[in-house]
Each structure stands twice: as structure tokens, then as C-alpha cells.
Chain A
Amino acid sequence: MNIWRLMRRNAEDNFIVASLILLILFFGFSSDNFFSVITLTTILNQLPALTFVTVGMTLVLIVAGIDLSVGSVMGFCAAVVGVAAVAWGLPLWMACLMGLGTGLLCGAVNGLLVAYFSLPSFIVTLGMLEMARGLAYVTTGSQTMYIGSQIQSLALPLPGIGVSAALISAIVLVITAQFVLTRTVLGRYLVAIGSNEHAARMSGIDPRPYRLMVLAVSGALAGIAGIFNAAYLGSADPNAGIGLELSAIAAAVIGGTSLMGGRGSIIGAFTGVLIIAVLQNGLAQIGVSEPTKRLITGAVIIIAVVIDRWRAKHASSS
């Protein structure tokens, strides 16, 4: 009885997890080496950056906003880390802190303009997308900067555990964010604002600080993604994260987050990240060409939304 109710309440999440498992099984059987250590590490290595950005994106989407700047901000933050560590010779922890601060600052600027100047987040973050990318090129002189093996240790499997510090922190973030969203007043307020801003305001909730905060958090998470991206590559690439915002939106949407706001799940979005990563690698394993891969990934996003709509309609009519 209780389990049934729990399953029904989490029906959406269950459905996505089931799709993920089916996908893994499919690739496992149709490819000889999908279940190999190399494939697994490839997939896991791709995860942290996208996960961080997707968690931020999901929070922004829940308050009925959007953050298009995350990919560029990530590239810019990676560039800052590179310049601080190499050109200025700062200790690595300080360089990373500067990367994080840069992301937070970009996000706060977005948030300030959206929340307190009532500008549409689509436009503001579109502007930030261009600006941050430009700044990334300026800081690095449009060159990839080699940082060194020291930063790579973040992305390498930790001895004895077998997974990287980056992956662990991504998973910790997912769990924390899901908890905050479902179990704290802050999380419930975000849902309330995204679902019905007028009603939220009538209940005495001022939406502005929450909108500001969510975009600032999204920027900071993009900053962390930039650090991990630099760690993964061992260098700061000013082109890092091009188009990442679209993957993040796709992952969130596959995970059942509504672009209209008020509805979303961090766990679901993380499953969306996994689905995209498995799809990318699985399709490559079974020898699907790059153009076809993109075609299939695109179709999966649309199908996910169609199914979600259909389910929502079905649920409300029953």
C-alpha cells in the first residue's frame, strides 16, 4: 500500500529511470564492449561538468526562468582558472576559488537584472552567453592554456575508491539539491513561485530574492563545472562548454522539468544527464555516425516531452 503510493508519487522519476535501464541493457546487448571499464570511465568522466550545469538549470527552470549563459560562463571560469594558475602563478586552490567566484558573479549579474529590473531571463542570459564567451577568449588570448597535471588529479579516480573527486561532488550536489528542493522551505518557495507567482506573492513571498539567488547559484555551479572541465582536460580551453546550455536544458526536460516552471526534479534531471551520456557513448559504440547520433538525440528529447505531456494529461483526467 505504502510502496504503491510512493511509486505513484514518484511515477515520473520511475519512468525515466526505467528508460535509462532499458537503454543501458539495449546497448549492453547490441555492443560487445559497452559493459567495459573504458566505456564506463568515459561516461563517468563526461558527467560532472554537465551534472553541475544541469542542476543549476533545473533550479532556474523551476522558477519559470532559463539560463542560456551556463556553457559560456563555464568556459570563462575555466579560462580564469587557467590564467590565475599559469600566468599569475597562484596556488591551485586559489585559482579554483577565483573560477568559482567568476561564475557566481556572472550568475548574480544575470539574477540582478532579471529579478530587480524585470528583464526576461531569456534575453539577459543570452546576452551573458555572448559576453562570457568573449571574456573567455580575451582572458586566454584565444589559446588553450596548459595548466598541468596537478589539476587533473580532481578528475582522476581516487585511489581506493575508483571514482574521481569530481564525480563524487557531482553526486553529492544532486542529492543535496534534491533534498533542498523537496524538503526545505526554500525549495517549496521556488516551486510556488514558478507554479503561480501571483499566488505566491499573495502568500507574502517576495519572488525577487529567490529569482536572483537561483540564477546566481546557476552561475556558481557553471563555475565549478569550469573547474572540473579544466581538470578533465588538464588545461583551460576557451571553447569549453559551447552548446552545453542546450544539453543541460535537454537533460532537465527529459527528467520531467517543465519549461513553464513550477515542476521539476533534480534526480530526474540527473537521470536525464545519464540518458544523454549513455546515448552518446552507446550510439558511438554500435558504430552510429556523428550526424545520426545527433538526429537520434534530438528525437529522444522530443519524444521525452511528448510522453511527458501525454502522461500529464492522462494523470489529470483520471
Chain B
Amino acid sequence: MTGSARLTISNLNKAFAAPVLIGVNLKIARGEVHAIVGENGAGKSTLVNILAGNLRKDGGEISLDGNIYEPQGPRDAYTAGIACAAQELSSIETLSVAENIALRALPQKNFVIDRGALNANALKLMQRVGLQNIDPTSSTEALSLADRQLLEFAKAISFDCQLLILDEPTAALTAPQADHLHSIIADLAAAGKSIIYISHRLDDVLDVADNVSVLRDGELVVTTAAKQTSVSDLVEEMTGRNQITSTARRDYVSDAGVVLDVTCLTTNDLPHPIDLTFKSGEIVGLAGLAGAGRSELLSALFGLVPLTGGTVKRMNNGAAHVVLNAGQAVRNGIAYLGEDRQSMGLFPGQSLLTNMMVPGSADIRTLQCIDHKRERDAGTKLVEKLTIRCQNLTQDIRQLSGGNQQKALIARWLHRDSDILLLDEPTRGVDVGTKNAIYDLLISLRQKGKTIIMASSEIDELTTVCDRILVLSDRKLVRSFERNDFSEQDILTAAFSEFTASVENQSTSDSRVASPLR
């Protein structure tokens, strides 16, 4: 299955705020299925986006069949013969299934769309990918997630491409569907196409790929033949780092009172019942791959999504309050910081002070009006306490660095004197120095008896800060680690466990919907 090189990437670099791809070298032959694996944020999607023409590279060289390839947009990728089925589904809901598949090149006769050819071609492709039960003229709106994923695949193979990029193509599929997709991939490879295959399902990867490359923190650490490696080897290559200097910790008080009691919790996104208790003065980490259900669990605890079963009880001085919605959660001293700071927390264009004081608690009000002097005093205190770096309180929040924005959001909830902090990716997009400052802040809050529940895709961050780590895999709570048996590799293995196991289990649970595609 080897031949001359189709795609050669040398010394590819890309940085946003921080470097995302560092000196990546990659060679893919004709007829080769090349898998790329790595933890969340390792740079896989960035690499795909550069090849697909959605992002420009900062440096390095890409050549395709010996010609320099520098796409200015998705159209260039298409003309160069690169097809891409992206991770986020991009079907256009108001067009029919057939129109979606052929959107790049709708067949026409005398300037009029040739419906006969359009639907016949679409049907052929749909039969090939396993969508034969769907009417090509029906609207895309009604399709299930799995069907949309197959549609995306059909769209990618709808034209005669040379390089096919598949980013998590089986995330929403059942095992038989995924097997079928893999057999098509094998056919395409046999026909001389090159395929880049990205997946969390390492078993699938070893099954379908000829070679596997591992990305770690933007660097391509190893490329091996799939036959010569194993799931555990890959996991080891994907981790294998420890940069964060553990900050000073004090002993964990294990006899503290329970503050949050979760029994048999289920939601639409979390079908398997979850039982948990959280104590005051502990930091609990939620680990798992993208789509494992970390964010879903946090938002369920905060009452943002309706529970389909079980209860969340806030225990406070012997009294128990059931948390049904976000309003009750806030009144009971629970705070929540969403994954996406920009859309879920910040008020861009407003001052740092306004951003911190938005909930407007009673102590800054005089006769129901906001007392600007008291507001400023409270703001100044918070800025000092959390060491927020800013010019002054009236500075536009957008001018602050990511880490300081995050601190301002934490300040918002501290000001309301919240006892339980639910943090989703609290250090995303933050540089290492500020990360350590946030860790210190979290630990100092813990010393004051606050409970912190944080979800993070960076396992080393969790092992540094947390007292306990809960691992979710494929929307199931699979394991709990106490501080003295933290092991990055065990945690990652647990995080992969349901994804790898699900290949065997899936045929019995066809109804599963993968959340990475939400």
C-alpha cells in the first residue's frame, strides 16, 4: 500500500495566542490511510483546517503530488483535489439531501439544475455510504445525527479527490455503520486515494490505518506503522509530559461536610445514572475526552439542563435544597463558569468593574440603586485579592488577557460569596504563567472551605490541582481516582475505555448519540 508521496508537510508552524503546531513533518503516500491521534488540543483540528484551506499556515511547506500547495480558501483545496469531512457537521438544513451532497458542483443542463442527474447521483452515493433508506429529495432538517455524519462523508467522496480528510467520521455512528465506512475507506485507498483519518477510537484507528502519527502539544512525536503499535503504546505517546510545577498544597481534610449530593442523575446527554457527593474544601476534577460528557455534567449540576432522573441536593448547615434550575443554584451559593468565556460569560465592551459586578448583590446597593462608590471599593478589593492585572477598573474587559478575564469571572462569583464553583476549562487559552496563578487561586479558595468542581481536557492540570479526579468516558462516569493514586496514564486509559469498548458494545446500544458533534 505504499507509493510515491502524495502529501508532504515539512516544518509546518501555526500559532494563535500560543503555538498550536510546531515544526510538523508528515509524509503520506498514494493509497495510504494515515491516522492522526492526540489528546484534545494537540493540534489535530488545526492541521485539518490548514489542509482544508480554512486557516493559513504561519510557516513551513506543504506540497501535494510534488506541487507547492498554499490554499487561500476552501475552494483551492477542492480544486487541488482535497476533500474534507469536518468534525463539525456542515449540512445546510433548508436544502435537500441531494443538494447538500452535490453543493460544490450541482449538475445543470441549460442553466437549470438537472434534478434527474442530481438525485440519481446522490442516490448512488447514498447507497454506497448506507443512506439508502432516505429520500434524496427530502430536507436535511429531519436527518438524525448519524445520518448527517454519513451525509458529510458522502459529500466528501462525491467528487474524485486525491486526498480525503476525515475528522472524527464515526463519532455519531453505530458499530455496523462505522465498519461499513471503514470498508469504503479501504476501497478508496485501494483505488490510490490517500486518506487522513482522525479519531478518538484508537481500536478503529489501528484497524483502518496503515500508519499512525501522534500529535502532542502541537508536535508530531512519532509516526509508526499501525501493525507495530498498540492502543496502550499510543496512549503513552499521547501523554508523556509533565510541565506544570506542582504548587504548594496543604493536606486534604477528608472529614469535611458534604455540600452537594447527587443521586442517580441522568439527563438527555448523560444516559447512565451518576451518584456523587462533594465535600467542602475539596477540588474535584472531571477528566475525559471531548464529548465524554464533562461539560454536560457540570451544566446538569448547575440546573442548566433538565434532569431526566435523579436529584441534585445542596446541603447547607444540615438543610437540603433540591437544585432544579440555575436560579436556585445561584441562590444556594453555586457558581458556574462556562467553557466558552467569550459567549458564556463576558460582556464585551463593558468595563472590568461592570463585568465583575453584574449580579449586583445587595452590598453594593443603596436604596436599590447601585452605589458607585461601594461598587468601586468592592471591585478594587477583588482585583487585589485575585491579582487581576489591569490598568484600572474602567478598562474594557476585552483588553485584558485571557487569564485575567477568567479571574474577573471568578471574581464575579466570589463577590456573591458562592461556596461551590463549577468551572469548565478554567485555563483554556491561558498562558502557563497565568495558569499557575489560577491554580494558586483555586487552591487558596479550597483552603477557605470552598468546593471547586472543574472540568479540564488537560490531565496534568487536574493531577496538579485536584484532590479527586472523576473520569468520564462516552458519557458514562467510569472511574474515580484519589490523590495518592493519580496516574496520568491510568486516567487517560480510563478516558478511552468506553470509546474502545464501545466498538463491541455498540451493536446493542444503537441509540447512542455522540456529543462531540453537538
Contact = CB atoms under 8 A, between A and B. Distances in A.
Contacts of A314: none
B113 A184 contact: yes
Interface in A19-69: none
A206 B141 contact: no
Interface string A185-207: 10010011011101111111110
A199 B91 contact: yes
A185 B94 CA distance: 15
Interface in A285-318: 316
B112 A188 contact: no
A263 B93 CA distance: 10
A199 B75 contact: no
A201 B92 CA distance: 11
B297 interface: no
Contact of B92 (A185, A191, A206): A191
A99 to B, nearest CB: 28
Nearest to B155: A203
Q: Is the interface of A mostly helix, strand, loop or mixed?
A: helix
A198 B73 CA distance: 12
Interface in A240-279: 262-263
Contacts of B108: 184-185
A195 B78 contact: no
Given A202-B74, A204-B78, A185 B113 contact: yes
A203 B113 contact: no
B136 to A, nearest CB: 13
A205 B103 contact: yes
Interface in B55-89: 73-75, 78, 84, 86
A188 B78 contact: no
B92 A192 contact: yes
A196 B54 CA distance: 16
B389 interface: no
B81 to A, nearest CB: 13
A200 B86 contact: no
B106 A203 contact: no
Interface of A: 179, 183-185, 188, 191-192, 194-196, 198-206, 262-263, 316
Given A188-B99, A198-B90, A203-B103, 16 more contacts: A183-B113, A183-B115, A184-B113, A185-B113, A188-B95, A188-B106, A192-B95, A195-B95, A196-B90, A200-B92, A202-B54, A202-B74, A203-B90, A206-B73, A262-B93, A262-B94
The 6 A-B residue pairs with the shortest CB-CB distance, nearest first, are A199-B90, A204-B75, A195-B94, A262-B94, A203-B103, A185-B106
24 contacts: A179-B112, A183-B112, A184-B108, A184-B112, A188-B95, A188-B103, A191-B95, A194-B94, A195-B92, A195-B93, A195-B94, A195-B95, A196-B91, A198-B90, A199-B91, A202-B74, A202-B84, A202-B86, A204-B74, A206-B73, A262-B93, A262-B94, A316-B141, A316-B142
